[in-house]
Amino acid sequence: MRLFAHGLSDKQVARQLGISELTVRKHRTNMQGRLGVSNGCALLFEAVVCGWLVLPLADSQSPSTSMPLEGKTP
């Protein structure tokens, strides 16, 4: 799932893992079925919600340092 989260396609994931694209597709489809979701985006969302996948913040910045709050000056 980490590779999908980084935007890799089934073909790219298969190449990275040294398995067939069909195997990758089958595993992804099985995971989607078990979680009751219909697409890859929902699969990644559920993985994050369940704590199976942790996505880092962009540029390793916390939200409070990346954007000033309304009405506040830095």
**What total of structural domains would you count in the chain?**
1
- Predicted confidence at residue 56, as pLDDT, reads 75
What pLDDT score was predicted for residue 66? 42
pLDDT tens for 39-73 read 999 999 999 999 988 877 665 544 444 444 444 44
CA distance 43 to 18: 22
* 48 lies in some domain: yes
34 lies in which domain range?
Answer: 2-55
3-state secondary structure of 72: coil
Task: Answer yes or no: are the C-beta atoms of 38 and 32 closer than 8 Å.
Answer: yes
- What confidence tens digit (pLDDT) does each residue in 23-38 have? 999 999 999 999 999 9
CATH code of residue 25: 1.10.10.10
Q: What is the mean pLDDT of residues 8-30?
A: 96
pLDDT for residue 49: 92
CA distance 6 to 56: 11
